[in-house]
Structure 1
Amino acid sequence: MINSLKTAALGAALAFGLVGTASAQELNFFTIGTGGTAYTYYPVGGVIANAISKPPGSRECGEGGSCGVDGLIASAVSSRGSVDNVNAIISGLRSSGFAQSDVAYWAYTGTGTMEGSEPATDLRTIAALFEEHIHLVALKDSGINSVADLSGKRVSLDEPGSGTYVDANLILEANGLSVDDVTAEALKGGAAAEALRNGKIDAFFVVAGYPAGALVELASAAEIKLVPITGAGADALTAKYGFFASSDIPAGTYEGVDATTTVAVGAQWFTSASQDEELIYNITKALWNDESRKLLDVGHAKGKTITAESALNGVGVPLHAGAERFYREAGLLD
């Protein structure tokens, strides 16, 4: 897998006319595990990969060229999501990846939903990125108005290995339900949206930064609603797990959908403690330079909320030494 990624990246370098310069400067390939292509992790990962890359032969920063890390070719890799990314980082399959703050903390400590698993003590944080909202999606005329109404319904919880699957189970539990009380499906992105539209499921969960692409498309083609995640169940969830907070998805985020109160978690960027300190320092520095700011602002609707000032918000897994050095030098960490 890693060799094939290197081959693909090298092919891209050759395609950009970097044949003569590649041999003069060592190439460094860096993967970012994201999520399904229909949600938020994947496009944001692509923007960040672009921001931190600087293949040999690139024009200099400030002269119309890349302000990334010299010789670095980063790539966003589609994956099953948070749990899959954490496992891939620890196994060495991927250089880094995005994960929900709750999933990462439980993996690092071997607690919560990861109770009984070997703690992922080599997991390290590069940055907190943006807030992710838990979307519970149903058709407008479905009669599903609360989590309790899911009992006996056909509900997609997303794939095992995704953060959505973890959180969907926690939400059911907080509302007195379990996976046995629904007919559970494991659909992602466009497949879940299509199944809802065609009446094959009654509802599905998505944990994503809004607006999620698959839901934008669904709302333009069908009358949908976002089911509120509020009341005693939401209160129990936020009280038990500090990672969750009550938050609103504004009206108009999705066509015809009213403002909806739900719960949210943080999306964060992780790597392994074994990654080179100087490399992660330079990646973190590249992420937060002014040129990257321009890319983030126009690259995705969530990009404007990805800021250096919030890069340490809700971090529960230790910073990588390289990232920590950058934040100290930038005055963001005492």
Structure 2
Amino acid sequence: MLKNKTRFLLVSTLILVSLLVSGLVSAQETTFLSIATGGTSGTYYPIGGAIAKVLNENIAGMNASAQSTGASVTNTRLIYNKEVELAILQNDIASYAVNGEKQFADNQVNNMTGIASLYPEIIQIVVRSDAGISSIADLKGKKVAVGAPGSGVEANASQILDFFGLSYDDIDEDYLSFGEAASRLKDRQIDAAFLTAGIPTAAVMDVAATQDITLLNFSDDDIASLNAEYPFLTGVTVPAGTYNGLDKDVQTVALKAILVAEAGLSEDTVYQITKAIFENRDTLIAAHDRAKDIKLETALDGMTVKLHPGAQKYYDEVK
């Protein structure tokens, strides 16, 4: 009887140990990734969600999820603090971070590496058609959304206002996310909003459906001067018809949205991530039209940080 009991306990213990080891191995085989994006009304969030879907469906053991954040500056700090593994952000903010410039002068980011340039991010200054605003100078004294605190939008708003001789002292600034800015424009609580995103931007489409809006136009000289001052800013055209009521082309400036990784991610993991993204573009495009710009031939355009070795390995392989 005692012998049987001992045998039972031994078998039970072995089973329990086997289950624990199996669970440990399973846990070790799962890779959890957080992708820092932006507000849910912008472009980063749906693109980040689509990337997570592609990774989960094409990389064994992958468990990736998109995280809504305050966008570029916030995402940079999340990478710096190793709170996320991947992030989408503007290439100018990435450059400032890795070079310890501007808002990162006291906190240089040394653990950010590049995966790919994604698409142009267009700086759109959206104004209510009845607000009496036809130029940057006309923003003086107006209620203007300048982006969420810690966002690339806010950095761009500050740069452009300063370039044209204005500051926050000259406007009634409001720090709002894309969704909040759209809501305030619709409710006529603000006169204009800075937005930096791929077009068409959901938040702008939402406003244009109920309000007469337009985008401020930059002259050729404005664009040339801005590019000379800020090399990341290049001229771009927002085609007529992009938004309801936009009946003519508008010239403005754009940056690049890039996908970055925390440097501690393994070479194999980042290789698999890069490969999955470029071999499953259809899934990305189905989620957002802007993903059409995610192409191998432009994957390094505007990349302002050193490539992760895993991404470099993939690009070397497909050359």
| Shorter-chain TM-score above 0.5 | yes
Structure 1 unaligned blocks of 5 or more? 1-19, 54-65
Structure with higher helix content: 2
Segments of 4+ moved more than 6 angstroms: none
SS of equivalent residue, structure 1 residue 221: coil
The code of the aligned residue for 1:141 comes to D
The answer to whether the Cα contact below 8 Å between 1:25 and 1:71 also exists between their aligned partners in 2 is: no
Give distance in 2, aligned partners of 1:83 and 1:228.
Answer: 26
How big is the shift at 1:114? 2.8
1:273 aligns with 2:258: no
Separation (CA, whole Å) in 2 of partners of 1:76 and 1:159: 19
Deviation at 1:115, TM superposition (A): 5.5
Report the counterpart of residue 52 of structure 1 in structure 2. Answer: 55
Q: Looking at CA atoms only, which structure, 1 or 2, has the larger radius of gyration?
A: 2
TM-score when scaled to structure 2?
Answer: 0.89
**What SS is found at the alignment partner of 1:164?**
helix
Say whether 1:262 aligns with 2:252: yes
Gaps of 5+ in 2: 1-22
2:40 maps to 37
3-state SS of paired residue (1:265): strand
SS at the partner of 1:270?
A: strand
Map Cα deviations across residues 272-329 of structure 1 (whole Å, 9 max, x no partner).
Answer: 211111111111111111xx12212222110111111111111110000111111111
Is 1:296 the counterpart of 2:284? The answer is: yes
Match in the other structure for 1:110:
100
Distance in structure 1 (CA, Å) of the matches to 2:196 and 2:81: 25
| Paired position in structure 1 for 2:305 | 317
Q: CA deviation at 1:232?
A: 4.7
DSSP 3-state at the match of 2:149: coil
Q: Does 1:329 align with 2:309?
A: no
Q: 2:115 aligns with which of 126, 137, 142?
A: 126
Name the residue aligned to 1:244. Answer: 233
2:3 matched residue in structure 1? none
Higher mean C-alpha deviation, range 25-34 or range 101-110: 25-34
Count of aligned pairs: 297
* Distance of 2:51 and 2:27 partners within structure 1: 25
Partners of 2:224 and 2:270 in 1: how far apart? Answer: 38
Query: Is the 8 Å Cα contact of residues 40 and 179 (structure 2) preserved in structure 1?
Result: no
Asked whether the equivalents of residues 39 and 179 of structure 2 are also in contact (C-alpha less than 8 Å), the reply is no
Once the two structures are TM-superposed, the CA of residue 233 in structure 1 deviates from its matched residue by: 4.2
1:100 paired residue number: 90
Matched residue, 1:214: 203
Instruction: Report the TM-score when normalising by structure 1.
Output: 0.85
Which of 61, 69, 77 aligns to 1:87? It is: 77
Residue deviations 1:175-197, cap 9 Å, x none?
11111111110111222112122
**Identity among equivalent pairs (%):** 39
Per-residue deviation at 1:117? 2.3
